[in-house]
Amino acid sequence: MTQAAECYTRMESPVGELLLRSRDGALTGLSMSPWKGGTNLDGFRRDDDALAPVVAQLTEYFAGTRTEFDLALAPQGSPFQVEVWRALCEIPYGTTTSYGALASSLGRPDAARAVGLANGSNPIGIIVPCHRVVGSDGSLTGYGGGLHRKRWLLEFEASVRPDAALPLFAHA
């Protein structure tokens, strides 16, 4: 049996330093400083080359030239969490949706709170765009990277694609 190749790199971004983690070539984590839950990298080795495609796509995103990511993702979570994280990837760039609308799109209209908890556990911020989920009244609600980053990401996407940014709940 071969040992899994777990690696990491760090990159600077307009929202601060990002910590990227992968396993066997698939992205498993994107964290923003200060690191939520710490930075336990036991068993990981730094490998900038292995994560260069992720850094390149994030660089393009922050330059406003990439609106979709094309990366192998392997977030670890419960089946429900993974289902929510897949649904997050379907929210179009420059738009938002509510927790309730996302729950309804999953066929679970009474699960807005559970969707919110799964959203908050998203281990691959930005690329799995949990920042695009807002309160039913359009308010910015919790974000693991901090509300200031959520606001920045939403305003940035709206500035890149002003045609897609409105109406607020275009995906609802």
| Beta carbons within 10 angstroms of residue 57's beta carbon | 17
Tell the burial category of 98 from Cβ atoms under 10 Å away from its Cβ (0-12, 13-18, 19+): buried
| 171 neighbors 97 (Cβ within 8 angstroms) | yes
Burial (Cβ within 10 Å: 0-12, 13-18, ≥19) of residue 52: exposed
Q: List the structure tokens of 67.
A: 């609106």
130 is catalytic: yes
- Which of 127, 130, 154, 165 is the catalytic position? 130
The answer to whether the beta carbons of residues 166 and 94 sit under 8 Å apart is: no
Tell whether omega for the bond before 34 is within 30 degrees of 0, i.e. cis: yes
| Residue 7 to residue 105: CA distance in whole angstroms | 35
Q: Which residues are catalytic?
A: 130
